[in-house]
Amino acid sequence: MTRVTQVLILAALVAAPAVPAAEPPMKVMEATAMGLMRAIEGGDAEEVWVYLRDHLAPELRARRSDEEWRGMAARMAERHAGLDVGGILVEGPGRVMLEIQGRSGVATFSFDFDPAAPDRIAGLQLAAGPPGGRPDLPPFEPPAGGDPTALAGALDRWLDELARRDLFSGAVAIARGGEILAEGARGLASRRWGVPNRMDTRFDVGSINKSFTKVAVAKLLAEGRLSLDDTVARHLPDFPDPEMAARIRIRHLVEHTSGLGDMFGPEFGRTSKALFREPRDYLELIAAQPLDFEPGERSEYSNGGYIVLGAVVEAAAQTPFAEYITENVFAKAGMEDTGFFDRDVPVPNVAEGYICREEGEGRVCRSNLYELPARGNPAGSAQSTVADLVAFDAALRGGRLLPPEWAAWVLGAPPPAEREPGSSPDLARVGYGIAGGGPGVSAVLEVEGDLQIAVLSNYDRGIAEAMSRVLVRALDRRAAP
């Protein structure tokens, strides 16, 4: 299945441990962590020991004898051989967390690094269970045949079990051809006031926003108001770093090849989130970071790049970004409950996000109010419902948002002018997934032909992705209605 997955915190897996010294520190940290995983995967205790010996920071290695480290390596190899890494979760500066599935079940490896020596592991912790309580989900057992009532009953039973364990708070929809066959909501939209989630509750969709932004870019490209080879400088002549703007082209922003870093870092964390409401509010922060690489040299996921892209959309359309998306995406798709809502303004039916972690002797859930910008932006955090996400897919593939050749581009095909004749995908049969995550945010729209699964949650740790994987696999195994 072709996937176009866009997640705020889930980084691309890195297969090789060796990374050139010129790589950005976070990429080195990710690659170093993945190198240990590859050694453990092979099940060779000596290989694991050698990797630890060569990549532990001196201070950490000194805490144990070589014999103790060899014993730990042997236990890792024995318990987790054949592991499957579910994802890399970047917890913050100097920390990488891995979720793994091995023979002994789900576990979490947490790595700490000194940014000055990003190829040396300064802290290593192995914990049973998924990161931050990311669940090992129970199976979903769909009914055979074509009875929507039975499917709805199976979904209700599954969601009841997830809610009983407090693993999920949010809403789910299973649809075929845009028609919702089964749906359900569980948990609380407000833990403070005890307000339950409903099917019309609006949740933060995280990086699913990037697909809305790409639709806007496609519309402007189709109308000739943008070109993929335009520079940022052409549309944003007042960009804070003119030399940077002259090197980056629109295609670089769309394809995550601009070299712009992820601006959701320490400086963003220290700055009042109330200052970030419009795309231009981020430009000084983005431009202050040097490019990680020359534009077009390679691909590296960039939230900052998509925020700049949104500012370009705003300039080319001569319309505020949120207004343009609302008129040209949400309204045309029939997404009546979707919008960019200020977090500090009371808006009906908008769920508050929760970051739930084990603290001390119990589980504490904190609001994500101080973690995310005051309003959603071109890279993430509009608010929507599961029904509206299903409507978005139906409108995109049904030709109501864009001509088919540009809709195919949004879903990952080359631009129409760069496509081989007759190579356009059949949009009715295409499979793709888009996802978003962040503090107190987890969102997925998964499409396989005419089957659509939408999951939105105001818990984080990728619960929506985990649930969509279970649902898709179950429905693939058994004939859906």
Residues recognised as catalytic: 207
On the CB side of 402, CA atoms within 13 Å amount to 28
Here the tokens at position 154 are 């199976």
- Smallest Cα–Cα separation from 381: which of 135, 163, 262, 204? 204
Among the listed residues 352, 341, 331, the one whose alpha carbon sits nearest the alpha carbon of residue 381: 341
C-alpha dihedral sign at 22, 24, 28, 31: negative
d(C-alpha 299, C-alpha 294), whole Å: 10
Nearest to 333 by CA among 178, 203, 218: 178
Distance CA(161)–CA(120), nearest Å, equals 42
Answer whether 430's CB lies under 8 Å from 345's CB. Answer: no
- CA 439: distance to chain centroid? 11
Estimate the crossing angle of helix 45-55 against helix 25-41, to 10 degrees. 160
Helix (H, G, I), strand (E, B) or coil at 407: helix
**311 C-beta neighbours (distance < 10 Å), count:** 25
For residue 398, report the phi and psi dihedrals to the nearest 5 degrees.
Answer: -90, 0
Beta bridge partner(s), residue 170: 186, 457
What gap in Å lies between CA 97 and CA 100, rounded to an integer? 10
Which amino acid is located at 15 in the chain?
A
CB 195 within 8 A of CB 187: no
